[in-house]
Chains A and B, each alone.
Chain A
Amino acid sequence: MNDIVIRAEKLSKKYVIGHQKPGGYTALRDVAAGAARNLARSVRDIARGRPIVAGDEIEDFWALRDVDFEIRRGDTVAIVGRNGAGKSTLLKILSRITEPSAGCVVLNGRAASLLEVGTGFHPELTGRENIYLNGAILGMSRAEIRCKFDEIVDFAGVEKFLDTPVKRYSSGMYVRLAFSVAAHLEPEILIVDEVLAVGDAEFQKKCLGKMSDVAGSGRTVLFVSHNLAAAAALCKRGFLLADGRLVASGDIASIISRYAQGGEQQARLEFRPRADAPSMASITIDSAALAQGDLIVDIAYTAPFPIAAIGGIALQTSAGARAYTSNCWMHEYDNPLEAQAGVLRCAIHGLPIIPDRYQLSVWLCDRHVVYETKVDCMTVEFPDAHMRQHLRGAIETGCIDWPARWQGRTVDVAAAAHE
């Protein structure tokens, strides 16, 4: 029994792209000459049976270069990387949408890919019709769809609108329906690209829950996401792609921290420092740490004269209620040194806060004066490490998330009455 379901060897994908020459044309003569050159090239391309590429200069562009990997049955792999790193390209090759330019892949098992929710949905058709259409497009048989139909409708929560054309749906309803069809696929290998960023927060959680069911059921999953928390929760392994190359693979935690070190994954806010008074230069949140539930905020400051900076941060719910405050008086702080520039770091590990979005406010002061206040300047989203499905957000549940232990005990009513 061969346990390797996907093996890629020296996998590469080349695109031919054209560039417009910088500066552009000015004189009519140049325009005409450029057009004539392009026409001549187009004719040559057609004659040779090559696609026509617009632009003045043509370049080969390697979206993937010499990628090697093996994926075993039951592996759950998250693929992370910056925009344009080649993640979608890799998934497209694996799902047979496009062919590699070099190298090869061996696939063992029925793969289904979900590169977009609602592929092929037609606005004029009703919800019911679109379920059948989309299901067939994703590779489900009609019998399979019929058998799961009620579940799909139930998951999407659109019973009342089943016979309405989907163009009358709200965009939220539309993606819910689209996702539920996809969520009921049952392939051996599931390939998912960045599709969980749809719908409202509650529905996103539901989707993640569904995905983790799939991942937990022993199926092979390849998952691309910029949501590192979701990647960490769903997958055990990770691949890091950069500029078309596979630069690292290993367990998910190490991949995420390596990716985060790239610096790109930090949420960062920059300010123009003031010349006349101490002020903040930037606020940075470590996204990789946040994905693991730790909030680490770096506050960089500058001052026209040396200050012994201290600071504070606060989190507010979207309803404006204060959820958490910390400052250098309340909590542990290494003694400040006087300086004209520096970084205050506030690290909060394992904050028992209800997973939700919070607004971050930041203060910069010294022992005597508050120099600057930035209220609600950034959004912090605490992920749910446990992927719970029934969380309703801080406004409804309050902000503290502390485990309680619930126990049930039965009472025998007849025996109680006898006493």
Chain B
Amino acid sequence: MTQDAIILAPGRADRHYWRDLWRYRELFFILAWRDIAVRYKQTIIGLAWAFVRPFLTMVVFTIVFGRLANLPSEGGAPYPVLVFAGMLPWFLFSSILSEASNSLIGNASLISKVYFPRLIVPIASAATALVDFAVNLFILALVMLWFGYMPGARIILLPFFVLFAVVASLGPALLITALNVKYRDFRYIVPFIVQFGLYVSPVGFSSAIIPERWRLLYSANPVVGVIDGFRWCILGGDTALYPPGFALSLVVAAALLWFGVRYFRATERSFADLV
């Protein structure tokens, strides 16, 4: 019994945090399931929206970047496929960011009435984003079928890149989530990041068009690495990864995740007083 004693004192780091997190995995699954169930139960629009949004974005980007600006595609893929392959991780990133950053405020009653490792809430909310991602993946399959474009064998590495995308999103997401509880103004920052990021990340164009000497710097944006990775494994053909850039993206994403988790954990004990 005694070794199980829990000591509550100010600023005391919880030794059992990660064990607790594991113990609460059922809560994690059920919260994720709740978010998904509620989302798809409430509206047929929800599902329709999941189809319409990426489709329209693809059309617009193809026209703007492919036709008007006449930018080149990659590895001989049709331009819409190139756009879609970049949009897939981008939407995953942006919806994890927005779902997570609102999740704690949205679950304020839980936070102030029950104990559990708070990390569960933003991560569970990312599950909804994964479901949308699956829908998008399905649309991409349809689009590729339409163009008669077959992915290569690299497609089997896709799960790895999905994981990379999730990791790259969670770092900033956790940071903003924690900040959002303390300073509500941060909710205005997320739409801005999403809006702005769409244009600075290589969603509508291939990152190969970035001049060589800027390429490494450009890859400091972890989303660049994610999108390049997705294109590399979906488009196949002669698309090539830019190794130093990809490595940099990985490092930046990992560093952000580490920092995000650390900041989240440092502040989570006061969440209940603030929400």
Which A residues lie at the B interface, using CB under 8 A? 1-2, 15, 46, 51-52, 92-109, 113, 115-116, 119-120, 122, 124-125, 129, 132-133, 136-139, 141-142
Cβ–Cβ contact A104 & B270, under 8 A: no
What's the minimum C-beta distance from B1 to chain A, rounded to whole angstroms? 6
Cβ–Cβ contact B30 & A132, under 8 A: yes
Which of B37-45, B73-81, B149-157 is the contact stretch? B37-45
**B36-88 at interface with A (beta carbon < 8 Å):** 37-38, 41-42
Cβ–Cβ contact A138 & B114, under 8 A: yes
Give the contacting residue for A108; candidates B2, B27, B34, B38; CB below 8 A.
B2
24 contacts between A and B (CB under 8 A): A51-B270, A92-B112, A94-B8, A95-B114, A97-B272, A98-B269, A98-B272, A99-B12, A99-B270, A105-B7, A105-B9, A106-B6, A108-B1, A108-B4, A115-B113, A119-B109, A119-B110, A120-B109, A124-B41, A125-B34, A136-B27, A136-B31, A139-B114, A142-B26
Chain B 1-38 per-residue mask, 1 if CB under 8 angstroms from chain A, else 0: 11011111111100000000000001100110010011
What's the minimum C-beta distance from B71 to chain A, rounded to whole angstroms? 41
Contacts of A97 in B (CB 8 A): 111-115, 272
Closest 7 CB pairs of A and B: A104-B9, A96-B115, A105-B8, A107-B6, A136-B30, A98-B272, A119-B113
Q: How far is the CA of A181 from the CA of B273 in the complex (A)?
A: 26
What's the minimum C-beta distance from A108 to chain B, rounded to whole angstroms? 5
Q: How far is the CA of A93 from the CA of B38 in the complex (A)?
A: 32
Known: A95-B115, A98-B272, A125-B37. A52 touches B8 (CB 8 A): no
Contacts of A104 in B (CB 8 A): 7-9, 12
Known: A120-B109, A136-B26. A99 touches B1 (CB 8 A): no
Contacts of B27 in A (CB 8 A): 136-137
What's the minimum C-beta distance from A128 to chain B, rounded to whole angstroms? 12
Q: How far is the CA of A231 from the CA of B25 in the complex (A)?
A: 36
* Number of residues on chain B facing chain A (CB within 8 A): 36
With an 8 A cutoff between CB atoms, is B189 at the interface?
no
Cβ–Cβ contact A2 & B8, under 8 A: no
What's the minimum C-beta distance from A262 to chain B, rounded to whole angstroms? 28
Q: How far is the CA of A137 from the CA of B114 in the complex (A)?
A: 7
Cβ–Cβ contact A100 & B8, under 8 A: yes
Contacts of A107 in B (CB 8 A): 5-8
Give the contacting residue for A92; candidates B109, B116, B272; CB below 8 A.
B272
Give the contacting residue for A51; candidates B38, B109, B111, B182; CB below 8 A.
B182
What's the minimum C-beta distance from B43 to chain A, rounded to whole angstroms? 10
With an 8 A cutoff between CB atoms, is B274 at the interface?
yes
Known: A124-B38, A124-B41, A132-B30. A2 touches B114 (CB 8 A): no
With an 8 A cutoff between CB atoms, is B147 at the interface?
no
Cβ–Cβ contact B113 & A100, under 8 A: no
With an 8 A cutoff between CB atoms, is B160 at the interface?
no
**B175-195 at interface with A (beta carbon < 8 Å):** 182-183
Cβ–Cβ contact A125 & B8, under 8 A: no
Contacts of B116 in A (CB 8 A): 137, 139
What's the minimum C-beta distance from B8 to chain A, rounded to whole angstroms? 4
Give the nearest-CB partner of A132 in chain B: B30
Give the nearest-CB partner of A2 in chain B: B2
Q: How far is the CA of A125 from the CA of B42 in the complex (A)?
A: 10
Contacts of A101 in B (CB 8 A): 10
Q: How far is the CA of A176 from the CA of B34 in the complex (A)?
A: 21
Cβ–Cβ contact B8 & A99, under 8 A: yes
Q: How far is the CA of A101 from the CA of B8 in the complex (A)?
A: 10
Q: How far is the CA of A156 from the CA of B181 in the complex (A)?
A: 36
Give the nearest-CB partner of A105 in chain B: B8
Contacts of B4 in A (CB 8 A): 108-109
What's the minimum C-beta distance from B39 to chain A, rounded to whole angstroms? 9
Contacts of A129 in B (CB 8 A): 34, 37
Q: How far is the CA of A104 from the CA of B7 in the complex (A)?
A: 7
Contacts of B107 in A (CB 8 A): 120
What's the minimum C-beta distance from B178 to chain A, rounded to whole angstroms? 11
Q: How far is the CA of A122 from the CA of B183 in the complex (A)?
A: 26
Contacts of B30 in A (CB 8 A): 132-133, 136-137, 142
Since A106-B6, A115-B113, A120-B109 are in contact, a sample of 15 more A-B pairs with Cβ atoms closer than 8 Å, ordered by chain A residue number, is A52-B183, A92-B272, A97-B111, A97-B112, A99-B8, A100-B9, A105-B7, A113-B114, A119-B114, A120-B107, A124-B38, A125-B34, A133-B30, A136-B30, A141-B26
Q: How far is the CA of A98 from the CA of B111 in the complex (A)?
A: 9
Cβ–Cβ contact B9 & A96, under 8 A: no
Contacts of B41 in A (CB 8 A): 124-125
Known: A98-B270, A125-B34. A137 touches B1 (CB 8 A): no
Q: How far is the CA of A16 from the CA of B11 in the complex (A)?
A: 17
Known: A107-B6, A108-B5. A99 touches B34 (CB 8 A): no
Contacts of B113 in A (CB 8 A): 97, 115-116, 119
Known: A96-B6, A99-B269. A113 touches B37 (CB 8 A): no
Q: Which of B4, B110, B182, B273 has the most CB of A within 10 A?
A: B273
Cβ–Cβ contact B273 & A15, under 8 A: yes
Cβ–Cβ contact A106 & B5, under 8 A: yes
**B254-275 at interface with A (beta carbon < 8 Å):** 269-270, 272-274
Give the contacting residue for A124; candidates B42, B109, B272; CB below 8 A.
B42
Chain B 99-115 per-residue mask, 1 if CB under 8 angstroms from chain A, else 0: 00000000101111111
What's the minimum C-beta distance from A65 to chain B, rounded to whole angstroms? 14
Q: How far is the CA of A119 from the CA of B115 in the complex (A)?
A: 12
